Amino acid sequence: MHSVVYATQSIHKLLAGISQASHVLVQDSQTE
């Protein structure tokens, strides 16, 4: 079960990173 918890945490971290990156990309496209 530890592997399942680790995988879930990794997915949350990955989604958080993607959401942050998308916000940055949107801001960059708006400034241009």
3-state secondary structure string across the chain = CHHHHHHHHHHHHHHHHHHHHHHHHHHHHHHC
In the prediction, which pLDDT does 2 show? 85
pTM of the complete model = 0.59
* pLDDT tens digit sequence for 1-32: 789 999 999 999 999 999 999 999 888 888 87
Question: For the chain, which residues make up each domain, given as ranges?
Answer: 1-31
- CA pair distance 22, 32, nearest whole angstrom: 16
